[in-house]
A and B are shown apart, each in its own frame.
Chain A
Amino acid sequence: MTLPAPVPVGVGTRPATPCGARADTYRLKVDMIACDGRGLCAELLPELVRLDDWGFPVLERGGAVPGDLLAVARYAVEACPRLALGLERS
């Protein structure tokens, strides 16, 4: 029995989303009133969230979530101790 050839991981290998939608259709949002700067979002999503000197999140790429980070982004939203992190369709 032969295994199928491994598919190289990288740009262009992501399966096309239905309706021709782009992968970046979800956007992270921080409710800065609710945010307490606990920093779990930056631990979970260093690709999208960095912390300023006071420990408050600054979103990279305007918070746009690439498809391969969507699951982690959802986890981060659930992990926010202050319910300050949201995910919305853009």
Chain B
Amino acid sequence: MTAATGLVAATSGKDLWYLSRGSGLVLLVVLTAVFVLGIVARANWAPRGTQRFVLQGLHRTLSLFAVALLSLHVVTAILDPYVSIGWLATVVPFLSPYKTVWIGLGTLAIDLGGAVLATSLLRRHLGFRSWKAVHWLAYLAWPAAFLHSLKAGGDLSLGWVSAVVWGCAAAVGLAAGVRVLVASRDPGDDRVGRAPRGEVKPAPARPLVGARSASSR
């Protein structure tokens, strides 16, 4: 708490307010990147010349970076004396006296995103099905975070801010469209009716033993 009051003393209240709004905007961009990269990963797509594990690595690393940004965003918002939000409201949604609904949506996004992150860190212990079930919550967390930035952030009157925010929405809309397309093409069991990669070759008659070494490919 002494560090907190020190921070308040060291900066004027306005600095904290700017820092909170700024980190919130950057956080929206980072979370959008994480969300879009996740959708892209599921679609098993990568731009030409990029390997998919690179996008997956970005998805994972940026999600951890988002935690750091989120800490900054939340702590500065709470410490800022200009509005009263309260520490409990960072964990329990809809407790903030200031903009109850819109701050609450941000808290909801923290809770949902926190569940997604925690289960991902424990993925190997949870198993695929449980991990995946919780991971779907990202589809609630991002919209909650977006609505929060739309209504709790007060900078949309600035042209470039609103361009960034709506750009994020457009990116997610595009990626979600692709996701729906992938899901409709690929319902559940991927291996049913799956086409082989490249051109279809007639299967060569292979001996049962030593097929690899005897193969003429």
Give residues in A with beta carbon < 8 Å to B.
Answer: 34, 36-40, 43-44, 51, 53-55, 78-79, 81-83
Q: Which of B67-75, B91-99, B120-128 contacts its partner?
A: B120-128
Of A34, A44, A53, which contacts B128 at CB under 8 A? A34
CB distance A40 to B190 under 8 Å? no
Q: Does B41 contact A (CB under 8 A)?
A: yes
CB distance B128 to A83 under 8 Å? yes
CB distance B197 to A55 under 8 Å? yes
Tally inter-chain residue pairs, CB-CB below 8 A.
Answer: 41
A88 to B124, CA, bound (A): 14
* A-B contacts, 5 listed (Cβ < 8 Å): A37-B191, A37-B194, A54-B196, A81-B41, A83-B127
Of A37, A51, A79, A83, which contacts B190 at CB under 8 A? A37
A55 to B52, CA, bound (A): 14
- Chain B residues touching A, range: 20 to 34
Beta-carbon nearest neighbor of A79 in chain B: B53
Give the interface SS of chain A, mostly helix, strand, loop or mixed.
loop
Query: Contact string, B180-217, partner A, CB cutoff 8 A, digits 1/0?
Result: 00000000001100101110010000000000000000
Chain B residues within an 8 Å CB radius of A53? 196-198, 201
Give residues in B with beta carbon < 8 Å to A.
Answer: 41-42, 44, 51-53, 56-57, 123-124, 127-128, 131, 190-191, 194, 196-198, 201
CB distance A83 to B124 under 8 Å? yes
Chain A residues within an 8 Å CB radius of B194? 37, 54-55
CB distance A43 to B198 under 8 Å? no
Additional A-B contact list (14), CB under 8 Å, known A55-B197, A79-B56, A82-B128 = A36-B190, A36-B191, A37-B190, A37-B191, A40-B52, A40-B56, A43-B51, A43-B52, A53-B196, A53-B201, A54-B194, A79-B57, A81-B42, A83-B131
A43 to B55, CA, bound (A): 12
Give the most central of B42, B53, B127, B198: most A CB within 10 Å.
B53
CB distance A83 to B123 under 8 Å? yes
A55 to B51, CA, bound (A): 15
Chain A residues within an 8 Å CB radius of B191? 36-37, 54
Beta-carbon nearest neighbor of A40 in chain B: B53
Chain A residues within an 8 Å CB radius of B201? 53
